[in-house]
């Protein structure tokens, strides 16, 4: 097994380390405001899965503030002048709104010289043709990765977590994005209640064989967070969650099921610690990553 991480892929594409800057386009979410649902996905925190995103400021100010944070966190690595950054529109549903207004925000981010590309996180039911066209135009200048929150292919789980759209909607979005030349990155949550490991692997295998191909995947551990519907459900009736050993074993099995060219954007999760109810071991990301690295190295031998 050989894996290609986000960091590897960025180095291949840009010749240097690329840092993500978490930004917000000021959008909300149709699964919260009643357009396609209310209450949101049951695992999603009030920050709309963008708990680290910058507050709503003009985009250049957001980029400057996010850069200061990133440069402060990684001071000793690559000198700030030669760093490259990916503008990551992470909070809520980043394409939910007027395509022209959002396009202006995305274009402005792409026009900043140190920004080497964009990553736009959204739902597959929020990609009207005009939005796809705008993203595709920007993609001709600088790469635009479109991240889709699929989480699972199983309708029974999708209903249980109130995802708010069925699988064919994802397939249609993938087809249209791919036809427009936009690389698709898919979010998968491992550990959703009611799912067996085989069901989670089904989702990963589905993505492995997907046509048109998806370019990358984000594997995320389910974080049960305070203030979410799932947090309340868990506190009323705790459901089984992975131990660190089980989770890292499953991630290795997922990686073994994916084609070597697929970019692995994430293997754990980034839930805000202050909201984390469970699993508490996931708060020690360094330990999780160390264990995972050892298991991946063993599987690669
Ligand atoms: S996960 Fe995404 S789609 Fe679901 S409620 Fe949160 S912001 Fe909306």
Residue 54 has pLDDT above 70, yes or no: no
Q: What is the pLDDT of residue 2?
A: 85
Q: What is the pLDDT of residue 156?
A: 98
- Extract the tokens encoding 83: 């760093």
Q: What is the pLDDT of residue 74?
A: 79
Q: How far apart are CA 258 and CA 205, in angstroms?
A: 7
Q: What is the pLDDT of residue 301?
A: 80
Res. 47 pLDDT band, cuts 50 70 90:
low
* pLDDT, the chain, mean: 93
Residue 126 has pLDDT above 60, yes or no: yes
Encode pLDDT of 138-178 as tens digits. 999 999 999 999 999 999 999 999 999 999 999 999 999 99
Q: Residue with the nearest Cα to atom 7 of ligand 1?
A: 92
CA-CA-CA-CA torsion sign (212, 217, 222, 223): negative
Residue 119, strand partner residues: 88, 145
CA of 122 to the centre of ligand 1 (A): 8
- Extract the tokens encoding 266: 């994430």
Q: Atom of ligand 1 at shortest distance to CA of 123?
A: 3
What count of other Cβ atoms lies within 10 Å of the Cβ of residue 68? Answer: 11
Query: For the packed helices 244-257 and 285-300, what is the interaxial angle rounded to 10 degrees?
Result: 40
Encode pLDDT of 233-242 as tens digits. 999 999 999 9
Pocket of ligand 1 from Cβ distances under 6 Å: 29, 31-32, 40-41, 44, 48-49, 92-93, 123, 149
Q: Mean of the pLDDT values across residues 189-194? A: 97
Residue 53 has pLDDT above 70, yes or no: no
Return all residues near 280 (Cβ < 8 A) that are at least 6 apart: none
- Residue whose CB lies within 8 A of the most ligand 1 atoms, among 39, 91, 93, 159, for a mutation test: 93
Q: Atom of ligand 1 at shortest distance to CA of 92?
A: 7
Q: Atom of ligand 1 at shortest distance to CA of 45?
A: 6
Q: Residue with the nearest Cα to atom 5 of ligand 1?
A: 40
What count of other Cβ atoms lies within 10 Å of the Cβ of residue 218? Answer: 23
Residue 291 has pLDDT above 70, yes or no: yes
- The share of the chain scoring above pLDDT 70, in percent, equals 96
Encode pLDDT of 31-44 as tens digits. 999 898 888 999 99
Q: How far apart are the first and last CA of the chain?
A: 8
Q: Mean of the pLDDT values across residues 73-99? A: 86
Res. 52 pLDDT band, cuts 50 70 90:
low
Q: What is the pLDDT of residue 51?
A: 57
Residue 270 has pLDDT above 80, yes or no: no
Res. 184 pLDDT band, cuts 50 70 90:
very high
Q: Mean of the pLDDT values across residues 248-273? A: 93
- The share of the chain scoring above pLDDT 90, in percent, equals 83
Q: Mean of the pLDDT values across residues 209-214? A: 96
User: 179-188, 199-208, 269-278 — which is least confidently predicted?
Assistant: 269-278
Write the DSSP string, 213-227.
PP-EEEEEE--EETT
């Amino acid at each position: 097994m050989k894996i290609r991480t986000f960091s590897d892929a960025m180095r291949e594409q840009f010749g240097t380390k690329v840092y993500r800057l978490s930004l917000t386009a000021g959008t909300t979410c149709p699964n919260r405001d009643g357009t396609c649902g209310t209450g949101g996905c049951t695992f999603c925190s009030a920050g709309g899965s963008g708990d680290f995103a910058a507050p709503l400021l003009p985009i250049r100010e957001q980029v400057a503030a996010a850069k200061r944070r990133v440069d402060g966190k990684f001071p000793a690595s690559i000198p700030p002048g030669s760093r490259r950054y990916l503008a990551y529109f992470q909070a809520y549903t980043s394409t939910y709104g007027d395509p022209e207004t959002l396009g202006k925000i995305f274009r402005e981010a792409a026009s900043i010289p140190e920004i080497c590309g964009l990553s736009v996180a959204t739902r597959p039911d929020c990609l009207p043709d005009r939005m796809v066209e705008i993203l595709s135009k920007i993609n001709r200048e600088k790469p635009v990765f479109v991240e889709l929150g699929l989480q699972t292919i199983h309708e029974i789980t999708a209903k249980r977590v109130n995802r708010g759209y069925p699988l064919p909607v994802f397939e249609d979005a993938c087809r249209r994005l791919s036809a427009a030349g936009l690389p698709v990155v898919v979010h998968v949550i491992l550990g959703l209640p009611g799912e067996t490991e085989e069901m989670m692997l089904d989702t990963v295998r589905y993505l492995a064989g997907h046509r048109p191909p998806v370019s990358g995947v984000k594997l995320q551990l389910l974080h049960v967070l305070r203030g979410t519907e799932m947090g309340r459900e868990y506190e009323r009736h705790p459901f089984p969650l992975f131990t660190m050993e089980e989770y890292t074993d499953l991630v290795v099995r997922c990686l073994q099921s994916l084609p070597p060219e697929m970019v692995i954007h994430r293997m754990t999760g980034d839930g805000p610690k202050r909201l984390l109810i469970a699993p508490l071991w996931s708060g020690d990301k360094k330990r999780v990553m160390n264990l995972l690295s050892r298991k991946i190295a063993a599987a690669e031998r």
